[in-house]
Amino acid sequence: MTATSFLGPASRRLFPISHSREEAASTVPTKSEDIAARIATIEAKLNEIPKATVTWKALYSSLGVFAAIVLGVTGFFYTRMLPDKVELGISNSPSLSKSFVAVDKQFDSLVEKVDKLQVTVSSTMNPKIVAAAIKDATSGDKVSLIRTLPNARKLLTIAREMKVPLTEKEYKEISAPLFSQYVSARDSFKQELWSTFLELAHTRTSTDALLHPVSEEEVARAKASNNYFEGAEIDLSTRETWKDTIFKNCQIRISNPGNNLILDHVRFIDDEFNSVAENETSRKLFQSLLESDSPSVTKKVAVFTVTVDKPILGSTPTAK
């Protein structure tokens, strides 16, 4: 794609020619050097983040700064540097491509610096740091939690998308106090807690797959007994007992929460629970999953019971 096709004929109207060749040539390096200096400053600040503990604010703001820099550098190129050179090329150069050589070099230099910054940010995605930040955002009384739980959910999404392997112990430590609060919670606070349980369950089924991948033998055994489900919508109420079952990338729901439900060595992998309605049975499901000492859930569910047992070593669900 050429510069003219990228900007179109409206480029003259959007970016009226206002710079001489000398002005444009001196402006680009100055602007790029300024951004490079800002990146260096932010990288230094990121390196100051403590490696042992961190509050959700410190981690979240650092990630936000990184996102802003990436968007800022890209936006700067397309809205400032690129138009400047387009103006110069349109007015003075017979060949537009030659006019972009300097810009390309400057932008490549900035991209390289941003790549290095990304490596620095990735290093802060240490599981202990992420777990500490989530714990910080899920601790406190009702007033503080109503304010911080949305941030906890965002951090959980980041942990899931960046594949940060949180441990069973960390999920238990994060979720147990929230379940205690849920018992007496009301109205908006109860909804905040429930939304957090949904995100915690989704993230745990994702990160468990990293720490405890399902073996091919486990998948083959589940398929042979018609207990392997992948990419399916699953209603747990359609069976009273789910044994040696793997659900992978499934949408989980419970249509009849009053039914008996028994989970016996069940693996949830990268599953979503947004269709699970708020009720006592669903709460027990989430609590059993999040406080489980292993990636597989085993629990007798009379009107809902769930126990935990050794992992199913393996990982993948699809109804076949």
Residue 305 pLDDT more than 60? no
C-alpha distances in Å from residue 89, one per residue of 6, 7, 22, 78: 14, 13, 13, 15
Average pLDDT of the segment spanning 170-174? 95
The pLDDT of residue 120 is 55
The pLDDT of residue 297 is 78
Residue type, 116: K
The pTM (predicted TM-score) of the whole model is: 0.63
Average pLDDT of the segment spanning 202-219? 92
Beta strands, E only, the chain: 228-230, 233-235, 241-248, 251-253, 262-269, 296-299, 308-309
Token pair, residue 308, equals 């935990």
The pLDDT of residue 9 is 39
- How far apart CA 198 and CA 231 sit, in angstroms, is 18
Average pLDDT of the segment spanning 78-97? 52
Question: Which comes out higher in pLDDT, residue 68 or 158?
Answer: 158
Question: Which comes out higher in pLDDT, residue 68 or 295?
Answer: 295
Token pair, residue 192, equals 């905040």
Distance of CA 68 to the CA centre of its chain: 17
- How far apart CA 170 and CA 12 sit, in angstroms, is 57
The pLDDT of residue 317 is 35
> Could you state, in order of their start, the residue ranges of all structural domains in the chain?
3-123, 138-211, 216-309
Band (pLDDT 50/70/90 cuts) for residue 270 is very high
From 31-40, 85-94, 118-127, 211-220, the region with the lowest mean pLDDT: 85-94
Positive/negative CA dihedral, 141, 147, 149, 155: negative
The pLDDT of residue 134 is 92
Question: Which comes out higher in pLDDT, residue 236 or 99?
Answer: 236
The pLDDT of residue 101 is 60
